[in-house]
């Protein structure tokens, strides 16, 4: 027949509804024929016909989904013959969902088995784009919509290998045994598909496409970011079916640790932005704790509840939930160390452990913890499967500092508020051991200095508007802030050691020059030698011989970015334990810098040594012995300079062996040396010096340079005529 009009009706049985065929009487058409049904003037669907004895002649019966596509009571039919060379289905994409919303379940359906079943059920049938049909699989009914049909490669039909040409899209086609069926989950559907026959389309990527470091305002952490990416996100970017085949589990926890102000919190915040995940939940450690029993643990459970719920509903298709713990050490201290009787800390740690990687595993979470005290955190949290990726966010190097300063001055540069003489590279070279936060502070301080120039401080404070328009932040503003306002926490405290070299170094003879030369050698060794990352030297000599000044001078000349003096005057009245902790803190800070120098001044005072008894603090001694021998972490170098007046005591305490080398600082021992020292100090006139030289000629003297300074200053208080006499009598009284 060429065309005819028939009465549209409902399918007589449910089984016939599932065949996707239009059902007619055997008197009208034969089974297996294909017909075109016109639904609107411009739209036609092709159906395959099946005959059944219950259908009245002159009627065509449609299943319910087909009725949706054909709404008229009369159907215009025309015979349709497929051109087998062009209209066989190569690949057909079908959107799938449960037919009835109430019959949903979360068990995964294998899309490969589905595709095989589909081809068996519907072989040699006609399909059109946008057509709806019902499909029965595993005793469940699914509603399908045909999204897209690609014609089969003609070479395959001839039994030759595929030509590899892009196949053209067709409106309707014939399903054959080697057609490919691709299932796509309908939007908002809770159906879980597994296997290869799901989606050919590009998956939504987990990484935000318009993401870049500079915009995010993170500088100097490129290597750390790429490491975190490799460990934590590579597996999440890969197609899930390949990850499934590898049996690969995603990383669930990242621990960021390092000194304060280096960008841990900033980095965690940006990881959330970089991923196409939900807004991360940020939790400050102490907020979790609650005074009521069981509430703290409930707070932890609440954090994970949403992720658990989604995992149950959507399985592998669940989105990523990020939970960020700031100050992790507040809630995850070592279990069993708390003094409280309730042990709240311990139960919170237990709850967190079981949530991140307990018996019921969650695969859709990423927990990021941050702390500057990784040593306080319970060991069970650190194993793989929990906080697996441990990343030290250290002080930025010079390249990192250039990036950070560029980020913080970008806005000023864009609005032309940064003077041309500001050189970011020069600033980065000057700011050794500055953390990211300190660099930001430096930029702020320079801005304040610049603004201050434009404020008229009359009886009222007002801004000079004319000049404010021309406001520019100059190099001088930055340099001023660098020297006065912002000092790095892990840097050199100039005031610290400059007070020890107040009067300069007086080179009264060869011994002093030798000490400084040896010191310079040790500094070079620390810098350049990979075999000895730790160099410890002891300067010993009689009291007042200027040991501390020489130690401070060697440290200053080293130009190391971290210099700290560990001296007893900062620990007056401290208990033994707090003394040990203070000394340990100095060393811990030193390990964070690439190159460090620690001066341990006046060791016998640190040890509370007194000859009566004799008494000393064994705790501090043991702490120092350990720290003097402890090598710094890989890639870091440390120079330790100790000073003491009691070498014999340290020898007995077996402390001398802890130092790599000992340098002796002598007193002034001849009259000539003493006269040279007087000349360098320039305190007496030439005539007075000649008279003193006459008196001391050929005599042995024995006096420390520090003591000599005191005696000279005392003599200078006398009248001009008596100064020399007084000086010589003081020397005599001192037994020098």
Which member of 333, 547, 579, 592 is catalytic?
Answer: 547
Q: Would you call 548 a catalytic residue per the annotation?
A: yes
Q: Would you call 570 a catalytic residue per the annotation?
A: no
Answer yes or no: are the C-beta atoms of 716 and 735 closer than 8 Å: no
For residue 160, give both structure tokens: 């030759």
Which member of 153, 357, 589, 601 is catalytic?
Answer: 601
Q: Would you call 602 a catalytic residue per the annotation?
A: yes
Which string of DSSP letters, residue by residue, matches 31-68?
A: TT-EEEEEEETTEEEEEEEEE-TTSPTTEEEE-HHHHH
CA angle 219–225–229, rounded 5-degree value: 155
Which member of 27, 215, 629, 697 is catalytic?
Answer: 629
Distance CA(491)–CA(575), nearest Å, equals: 27
Quote the strand ranges of 319-382, DSSP E.
321-326, 365-371
Distance CA(143)–CA(301), nearest Å, equals: 37
Distance CA(692)–CA(728), nearest Å, equals: 8
20 phi, psi to nearest 5 deg: 65, 15
Q: Left, alpha or beta for 356 (phi > 0: left; psi -120 to 50: alpha)? A: alpha
Distance CA(619)–CA(577), nearest Å, equals: 7
For residue 155, give both structure tokens: 């070479």
Which member of 357, 602, 637, 707 is catalytic?
Answer: 602
Instruction: List Cβ neighbours of 527 (8 Å cut-off, separation of 6 or more).
Output: 595, 637
Q: Would you call 601 a catalytic residue per the annotation?
A: yes
Cα–chain center distance at 344: 29
Look at residue 151 and give its three-state secondary structure.
strand
Q: Would you call 112 a catalytic residue per the annotation?
A: no
Task: Report how far apart, in Å, the C-alpha atoms of 143 and of each of 19, 64, 140, 176 are.
Answer: 13, 11, 10, 21
- Distance from the first to the final alpha carbon of the chain: 135
For 456-476, letters b (16+ CB in 10 Å) and e give eeeeeeeeeeeeeeebebbbe
For 124-154, letters b (16+ CB in 10 Å) and e give ebbbbbebbbbbeeeebebbbbbebbbbbbb
According to DSSP H, which parts of 453-563 are helical? 465-468, 475-484, 494-498, 510-528, 547-558
Which member of 431, 548, 643, 644 is catalytic?
Answer: 548
Task: Indicate which residues carry an active-site annotation.
Answer: 547-548, 601-602, 629, 706
């Amino acid at each position: 027949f060429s065309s005819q009009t028939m009465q549209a009706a409902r399918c007589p049985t449910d089984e016939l509804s599932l065949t996707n065929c239009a059902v007619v009487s055997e008197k009208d058409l034969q089974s297996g024929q294909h017909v075109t049904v016109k639904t609107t003037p411009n739209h036609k669907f092709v159906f395959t016909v099946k005959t059944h004895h219950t259908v009245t002649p002159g009627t065509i019966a449609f299943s319910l989904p087909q009725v949706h596509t054909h709404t008229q009571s009369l159907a215009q039919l025309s015979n349709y013959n497929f051109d087998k060379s062009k209209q066989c289905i190569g690949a057909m994409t079908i959107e799938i969902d449960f037919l009835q919303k109430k019959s949903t379940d979360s068990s995964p359906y294998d899309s490969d088995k589905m595709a095989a079943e589909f081809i068996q059920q519907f072989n040699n049938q006609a399909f059109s784009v946008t057509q709806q049909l019902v499909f029965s699989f595993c005793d469940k009914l699914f509603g399908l919509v045909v999204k897209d049909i690609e014609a089969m490669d003609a070479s395959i039909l001839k039994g030759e290998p595929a030509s590899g040409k892009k196949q053209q899209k067709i409106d309707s086609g014939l399903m054959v045994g080697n057609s490919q069926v691709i299932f796509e989950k309908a939007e908002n559907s809770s159906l879980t598909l597994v296997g290869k026959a799901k989606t050919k389309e590009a998956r939504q990527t987990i990484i935000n496409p318009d993401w870049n470091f500079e915009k995010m305002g993170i500088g100097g952490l490129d290597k750390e970011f790429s490491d975190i990416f490799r460990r934590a996100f590579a597996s999440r970017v890969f197609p899930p079916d390949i990850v499934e085949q590898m049996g690969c589990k995603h990383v669930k926890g990242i621990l960021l640790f390092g000194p304060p102000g280096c960008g841990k919190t900033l980095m965690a915040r940006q990881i959330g932005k970089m991923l196409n995940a939900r807004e991360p939940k940020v939790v400050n450690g102490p907020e979790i704790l609650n005074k009521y029993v069981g509430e703290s643990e409930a707070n932890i459970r609440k954090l994970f509840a949403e992720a658990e719920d989604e995992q149950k509903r959507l399985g592998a298709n669940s989105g990523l939930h990020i939970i960020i713990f700031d100050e992790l050490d507040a809630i995850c201290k070592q279990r069993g160390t708390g003094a409280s009787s309730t042990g709240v800390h311990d139960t919170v740690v237990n709850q967190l452990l079981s949530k991140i990687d307990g018996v019921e595993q969650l695969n859709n979470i990423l927990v990021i913890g941050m702390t500057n005290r990784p040593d306080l955190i319970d060991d069970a949290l650190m194993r793989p499967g929990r906080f697996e990726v441990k990343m030290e966010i250290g002080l930025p190097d010079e390249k990192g500092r250039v990036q950070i300063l560029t980020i913080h001055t970008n806005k000023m540069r864009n609005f032309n508020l940064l003077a041309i003489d500001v050189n970011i590279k020069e600033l980065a070279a000057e700011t050794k051991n500055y953390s990211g936060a300190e660099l930001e502070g430096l930029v702020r301080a320079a801005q304040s200095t610049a603004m201050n120039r434009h404020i008229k401080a009359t009886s009222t404070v007002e801004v000079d508007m004319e000049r404010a328009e021309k406001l520019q932040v100059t190099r001088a503003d930055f340099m001023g802030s660098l020297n006065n306002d912002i000092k790095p926490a892990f840097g050199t405290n100039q005031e610290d050691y400059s007070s020890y070299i107040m009067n300069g170094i007086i080179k009264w003879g060869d011994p002093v020059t030798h000490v400084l030369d040896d010191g310079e050698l040790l500094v070079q060794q620390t810098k350049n030698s990979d075999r000895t990352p730790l160099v410890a030297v002891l300067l010993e000599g009689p009291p007042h011989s200027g040991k501390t000044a020489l130690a401070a001078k060697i440290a200053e000349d080293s130009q190391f970015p971290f210099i700290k003096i560990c001296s007893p005057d900062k620990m007056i009245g401290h208990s033994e334990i707090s003394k040990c902790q203070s000394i340990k803190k100095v060393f811990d800070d030193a390990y964070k810098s690439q190159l460090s120098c620690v001066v341990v001044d006046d060791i016998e005072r640190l040890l509370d040594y007194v000859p009566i008894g004799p008494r000393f603090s064994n705790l501090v001694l043991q702490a120092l012995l350990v720290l003097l021998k402890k090598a710094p972490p890989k890639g870091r170098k440390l120079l330790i300079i100790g000073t003491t007046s009691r070498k014999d005591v340290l020898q007995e305490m077996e402390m001398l062996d802890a130092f790599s080398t000992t340098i002796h600082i002598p007193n002034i021992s001849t009259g000539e040396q003493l006269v040279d020292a007087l000349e360098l100090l320039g305190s007496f006139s030439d005539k007075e010096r000649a008279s003193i030289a006459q008196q001391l000629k050929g005599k042995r003297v024995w006096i420390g340079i520090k003591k000599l300074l005191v005696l000279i200053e005392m003599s200078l208080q006398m009248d001009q005529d008596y100064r020399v006499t007084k000086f010589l009598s003081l020397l005599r009284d001192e037994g020098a």
